[in-house]
Amino acid sequence: MTVEIGVEEIEDIALGATVLGTGGGGDPHVGKLVAKQAIEEFGPVELLPPDKLDADDFVIPTAQMGAPTVSVEKLPSGREAVTSMERIERELGKTADATMPIECGGINSTFPFAVAARRGLPVVDADGMGRAFPELQHETFNIYGVSGTPAAVSDEQGSTCLIETEDNDQLEWLARGVTVRMGGVAYVSDYPMTGTQIKETAIPGTMSLAKNLGRALRLAEDDAMSAIREVTRESIYGEARSLFEGKIVDVQRRTERGFVFGHVDIDGLDGDEGSTMRIEFQNENLGAAVDGSYVATVPDLITVLDRETGGPIPTESLRYGARVRVLGIRTPEIMRTPAALDVWGPASFGLEATYEPLADHP
């Protein structure tokens, strides 16, 4: 059955993807506005399950990259990633049959819908991270053998840079440098793939999961945690569980090398009174430690919710004094293989922790 994504569905995807985005992925509000504008002008977008792709269908993912704190100051028109996609099409002499997200968090959950609406293309219901991560090699596509290039990076002025590399780590290094020169935020198309490659390497159903999470949160009256738990229970993820409740007492951020680095300290309330949680982030939340001992790390999802409203809080919106609940969600198996942990396990981000998958909530 064909699923069409209109304005209401974009609202839900943006909200749900803020949960899955683990605090990063760029400002979801910006992506939502850009996608809604494109859908209102060009019409709704088909959400295409990966198993409906033909083997030789040509798919070009689209995304924003850069520091989230910069993205809220340099607002996109929605055309930038289309420019990147069309540069790859010219390079390869092929026209895209669909686009898709590279991650299911923040702006990058909704931005592909703006591209799809403008181009009259479907969006594949899958992505390459199952959450948000800060770097372009942090993709299941990369882990399981897909080349990220040719890739194109564009800015709001219409400048475009085509990148071809031998490996995907070098793609990240070069594209990050271009993004910094473009003012700290840019728009990228990379990992051009066939339908077969997507079926073999992507994490399926993540846009549907984001939509269902957002709808559940929107309809939840008092218990956002139960709403999130119910939706994740039916997914390929682990069931959501509460890790900590407390009050934010310190937030430290710095923008460096095109990323936002920092940490947030939370003093416990109620059952967690007397303890302190520190969450370290690089655009996204990477590790959560209580009294110095890690209770969750990448690649599992660590998301901060407003304790009163249940709404997810991106890292750039964390503020002193906020009462919050921290939740964890276990990632799908494809994200927890030894090959995957070599790319995005705790050690890859400098955390002195051994990855232990979160258990389902009791």
Backbone phi and psi for residue 306, each to the nearest 5 degrees, phi listed first? -65, 125
Architecture of the structural domain at 3-204: 3-Layer(aba) Sandwich (3.40)
Helices of type H across the chain: 7-20, 28-42, 68-71, 80-92, 107-119, 140-143, 168-181, 195-201, 206-219, 224-233, 338-344
CA dihedral 133, 135, 136, 139 (to 10 degrees): -40
Enter the pTM of the model.
0.93
| CB burial readout 213-228, b (16+ within 10 A) else e | bbbbbeebeeebbebb
Strand partners, 307: none
**pLDDT for the residue 302:** 97
| CB burial readout 287-301, b (16+ within 10 A) else e | bbbbeeebbbbbbbb
Helix axes 206-219, 224-233, angle to 10 degrees: 150
Euclidean distance between CA atoms 308 and 139, whole angstroms: 34
Q: Nearest Cα to 356, choosing from 303, 299, 304? A: 299
Strand partners, 290: 277, 293
122 upstream amide cis, omega within 30 of 0 = no
Residue type, 200: E
Instruction: Please give the C-alpha separations between residue 78 and each of 119, 143, 240, 303, 304, in angstroms, as whole numbers.
Output: 12, 29, 33, 27, 28
Q: Which residues contact 93 (CB under 8 A, 6 or more apart)?
A: none
**pLDDT for the residue 275:** 98
pLDDT tens across the length of the chain (362 residues)? 679 999 999 999 999 999 999 988 777 788 899 999 999 999 999 999 999 999 999 999 999 988 666 666 667 777 889 999 999 999 999 999 999 999 998 889 999 999 999 999 999 999 999 999 989 999 999 999 999 999 999 998 889 999 999 999 999 999 999 999 998 889 999 999 999 999 999 999 999 999 999 999 999 877 888 899 999 999 999 989 999 999 999 999 988 877 789 999 999 999 999 999 999 999 899 999 999 999 999 999 999 999 988 899 988 889 999 999 999 999 999 999 999 999 999 999 999 999 999 976 44
Asked if the domains at 3-204 and 236-349 fall in one CATH topology, the answer is no
Unique residue bearing structure tokens 């951020």: 253
Backbone phi and psi for residue 133, each to the nearest 5 degrees, phi listed first? -135, 160
- Domains of the chain, by residue range, sit at 3-204, 236-349
**pLDDT for the residue 71:** 60
Helix axes 28-42, 7-20, angle to 10 degrees: 160
**pLDDT for the residue 184:** 86
Q: Which residues contact 153 (CB under 8 A, 6 or more apart)?
A: 65, 84, 160, 161, 163, 175, 178, 179, 182, 186, 187, 188
Starting at the earlier edge strand, list the strands of the sheet with 45-48.
3-5, 45-48, 123-124
Architecture of the structural domain at 236-349: Beta Barrel (2.40)
